[in-house]
Chains A and B, each alone.
Chain A
Amino acid sequence: MNTHPMKLKIDGVDVECSEGSTILTAAKTVGINIPTLCYLEGLTPYGGCRLCLVEVSGTNKLFPACATPVASGMEVTTQSPKLHEYRKMVLQTLLAERTHICSVCIANDHCELQTQTNQYGVDHVFYERNWSCNEIDSTHDFLVIDRNRCILCTRCVRACDEIEGVHTLDLKFHGKNTDVIMDQDELWSKACSCTSCRKCAKVCPVGAIYVEGENIEYTKDPQVIAFIVERRKCLK
């Protein structure tokens, strides 16, 4: 993509980037970090978690930085009281949605949801919390899924489909009943399309998919996706 460069302003800083960049990647080039959860470099942006919302001048609408292409002349604001408030509410509603008890979670201290929660000073959830208690699927030789901790970011689904290319994982149902499933909603051991590649466990931002008996610090490796994508470019 070597078309004419795009010029825009992010938090008052002049940024120049190529056409087709997103606000998120453009911001990174000038050292501005926008918080993300569902975004993962190398995967198609999902725009689902809404943590990366930013303001764009000239409209009241908020845009997900991870999925919004830059436009010339755009003026982006990544920090404001409103954005701060909404990011806190994203985190609070996620915490209230399912069972998140850090002290008994395998991902404790290595969880992106926890990191963001600390970052934004969420010290209280002002909604009733829903302690979902769905059965954990540990039928696979070593991969485990605890859907009670899932934040439905679909990183695992996209990694499985776009990078591993097997599409074992997908979503079932909709709304609050949405869940990650294997093949036609089988137990993981019965999902014959799974190649046991572990990419899902590497990219899961929380403790929902993990490798049994393995130190989570060792398992987690979300950057591997960008690495693979880059290597495949060389192959072409």
Chain B
Amino acid sequence: MGGYSALVRALSDMTPQGIINEILSSGLRGRGGAGFLTGQKWRLVARANNTPKYIVANLDEGDPGVYANRSLAEADPHAIIEGLLIAAYAIGAEKGYIYIRKEYPLAIQTLQKAIAQAKAMTLLGNDILETHFNFNLELRFGAGAFVAGEETAILSSIEGRRAMPRPRPPYPANSGLWQKPTLIQNVETLANIPLIIQNSAVWFAKIGTPKCTGTKCFSLTGKVKNPGLIEIPMGITLREIVFDIGGGVPAGKEFKAALIGGPSGGCLPEQLLEIPIDYDYLTKVGAIMGSGGIVVLDTDSCMVDTARYFTEFCVDESCGRCTPCRAGLPRLLEIFQKITHGKGEPNDLIILEKSCFFIRDASLCGLGQTAPNPILTTLRYFKDEYMHHIKNKKCKADVCFKTPTKDEPK
């Protein structure tokens, strides 16, 4: 299949409205986390009556241990650029940015080279393929903060301000970069676009499940025999990923839980391994698709310590704007310090859970809203471990009660 042939097809045979309809009927949903219907987002931006319009490709990829977007950029940068061009044409944007973290030097180099190549072929710039369609593309660099991958934080960062999320509404589709309509899309989402245009929405919708079409990339890490980057059709079960693809837990140990959705994902126990990989199912059991991180834990891991660890990550990555996340999350960490140092009381679990609901419901952006997920899911599926720590002052996995931390309670 020739490079940019989908773009040629889009520019010569399709109207912007036709492209949006095709993406809509493919059922493609955003691969950056929230799973919003891509076509619907395009339609919102296309309909916004304000110009100029912008498009931003999200290549911030802040989840620790996840590198699917980086690999995509390093291996197939033109798929991202082609997706951007088709999207830009469909929504009426003439200017785009790829927001990429500075820690990805090879991906940056590859993208810069690809942009130069595309320019040389008049696939970027003015009068692209002699169709009067203009589109210019630039890279913008992030300094590596996790929260800088949140869509409104990216906008602030590109505008030259602190990468802090801002309240929505107004949504970027109406008021994004410099208050202009802006489409923000994950690069994996964009890389799917040329395939849909080339092979049709019907072809795409055949892969996966009716409500979750296509494939998704995951970084499979932790206690599995074959860790690495995988691409799977939506709808296969977690068991298939961990045991068939990952090869299961290395000999001598037993599977305990899978953390799916990155640092603010959910810890799912053995009995939930049969659930299909699907945005809605995952949300139902307390996890999220996130940007595609799966960490497998075996019986050497303590679930209380796991929840503490990811809470600490979110405390460190909070931007500091809103009270629940900035002032609330560290309080949860303090409670964990108590529990994992033999000072926990049964009442702590009640405070923990109440505070989690507060932080989930009252935070400004997705970071605070999802940060309690590891705690809520471990409380839900592994409550006995918490009780064991509090009542018997013992850790079955023999992890807690010995790691001295900087904030050890007096």
Contacts and interface: CB of A to CB of B under 8 A. Distances in A.
B362 A68 contact: no
Contacts of B327: 93-94, 96-97, 176
Interface string A178-189: 100000000000
Nearest to B314: A175
Contacts of B166: 47
B210 interface: no
Contacts of B25: none
Contact of B320 (A128, A130, A174): A174
A85 B355 CA distance: 10
The interface residues of chain B, by DSSP majority, are classed as helix
Contacts of A127: 331, 334, 351
Contact of A50 (B170, B324, B331, B334): B324
B315 interface: yes
A89 B392 CA distance: 30
B328 A68 contact: no
Most-contacted residue by chain A among B317, B324, B326 (CB, 10 A): B326
A175 B164 CA distance: 11
A50 B323 contact: yes
Contacts of B275: none
Contact of A48 (B145, B317, B322): B322
A102 B362 CA distance: 26
Contacts of A68: 167, 169
B318 interface: yes
B322 A47 contact: yes
B321 interface: yes
Given A47-B322, A89-B358, 18 more contacts: A47-B166, A49-B323, A64-B364, A89-B354, A93-B331, A96-B327, A97-B326, A126-B351, A173-B320, A174-B320, A175-B315, A175-B326, A176-B315, A176-B318, A176-B320, A176-B330, A178-B319, A178-B320
A178 B326 contact: yes
A171 interface: yes
B362 A86 contact: yes
Contacts of A176: 315, 318, 320, 326-327, 330
B300 interface: no
